[in-house]
Amino acid sequence: MAIESLNPTTGELLRSFPEMGKDEVDRILDAAVRAQKAWARVPVAERAVPMRKVAALLRERAPELGRLAALEMGKPVKDGAAEAVKCAWVCEYYAENAGKFLAPRPETSDGSKAYVRFDPLGVILAVMPWNFPYWQVFRFIAPHLMAGNGGLLKHASNVPQCALAIEKLMHDAGFPPDLFRTLLVGSKPVRGIILDPRIAAATITGSEPAGRAVAAAAGEALKPSVMELGGSDPFIVLADADLDQAAKVGAVARTINAGQSCICAKRFIVESTVYDAFLSKFTAAMQAVKVGDPMQPGTDIGPQARTDLRDEMHELVKQAIAEGARPAMGCTLPAGPGAFYPVSILADVKTSNVAAREELFGPVAVVIRADSADHAVQIANDSRFGLGASLWTTSEATVERLVPRIEAGAVFVNGLVKSDPRLPFGGVKTSGYGRELGLEGIRAFVNVKTVWVK
């Protein structure tokens, strides 16, 4: 089986790579275990040296990395370059803070001394998606290599060149060559790799079905795992919100990365007294988003990453319309080459509609009417997902009252949901478990070791 890199703008085959066989994966695993055992003995301050170097290389190579992402998954070049720069930020953040996060913590006990250590677990398998081909990987690399672990990357099969570019960055920065490697394999071998005793833990960012498969394998092997899965994030607009700002930010929140993000705003839940006014302003903001060639600097969003994913999403849109949603904008499959889809709005959506129940992974906004603020939160929570949520109100009292009731891993008030190296990131319900980033992220795959001394 070949791992193919296809240009979603043109459909052109860019490159093809042979899938690694079991013997090659075994050799990489053996070498990674040896490299990690040596790396675990390297002081944290010394681990930070290549981590800072890879940050510098990410900034230096941002333009070419942006171009590569545009070619492989359709992200506009400026956005791909910005993504690489954000990866540099997370590397610098953990290079600066890992020593503090991993420092032994003194505790009181009946011994003469007691403390808690945070020791690495070993080699971690990261199963990563195509939508942010650099950021998703580096938010794994930065904390867990600084913690003393090793890493193996099973990237999405449609971005092999991005995966190999990450491996080269790590090697060029001076990390031990076998400490981080890319595995060019499909999904079938993943279960066996997780079950392999040389793998200490697994993390995945991806779809709900993929997460269930990885979690099942990790559970069978009694290995820790972190799941960052799908989302149908609510964007709650209350009657006292700044509607102009909410509409402007909402258009970005729905269409960033062509709507292909777990934390994109997907369900716009609007209090009835401002529903029509918001929809009008939101439609104008969505109409201003420019869809086009991702290689051109003026493009806001490019094509969807794959034609099959675009077509699957359109089937959900058609079903939503058949169930009573009103196509207020777009919602038609364009003719011509490429995996393009128009910026779209489904209005007057009922909570029973498929568009309100499933994750639409593309630039399609779902607008739902709520009778009150309390009803809006009820609608927001009426989902199997619980990744992020955005709440729009000018009342601090409303924020204090509603935020504890919103079932999500993060709530951003008067702003779009985003990931930040300083803040823990993850979800609840079928959006996953565990946390990346922040203090919690670096401690996700460590042995929390109690030491008691008499």
Instruction: Give catalytic residues, as residue numbers.
Output: 228, 262
Q: How many helices (H) and strands (E) does the chain have?
A: 15, 18
Closest CA relative to residue 163, chosen from 248, 53, 72: 72
Tokens representing residue 119 in the block:
């020791």
Q: How far apart are CA 409 and CA 389, in angstroms?
A: 8
**Interatomic CA distance for residues 348 and 225, integer angstroms:** 39
DSSP-derived 3-state class of residue 267: strand
DSSP string for residues in 208-254: HHHHHHHHHHHHHTT--EEEE----EEEEE-TTS-HHHHHHHHHHHH
Burial class (CB in 10 A: 0-12, 13-18, 19+), 390: buried
What is the residue whose two structure tokens read 């504890």? 404
DSSP result, 359-409: ---SSEEEEEEESSHHHHHHHHHSSS--SEEEEE-S-HHHHHHHGGGS-SS
In this structure, what DSSP letter does residue 291 have? Answer: B
Q: How many CB atoms lie within 10 A of CB 322?
A: 10
Q: Please say whether the dihedral angle defined by the alpha carbons of residues 106, 110, 111 and 116, taken in this order, is positive or negative.
A: negative
Could you tell me which residues are beta bridge partners of residue 390?
235, 412
Name the strand (E) or helix (H) holding 44: helix 44-60
* 49-84 exposure pattern, b = at least 16 Cβ within 10 A, e = fewer: ebbebbbebbbebbeebbebbbbbbbbbbbbbbebb
Are 102 and 147 a contacting pair, CB within 8 Å?
A: yes
**d(Cα 376, Cα 185) in Å, to the nearest integer?**
44
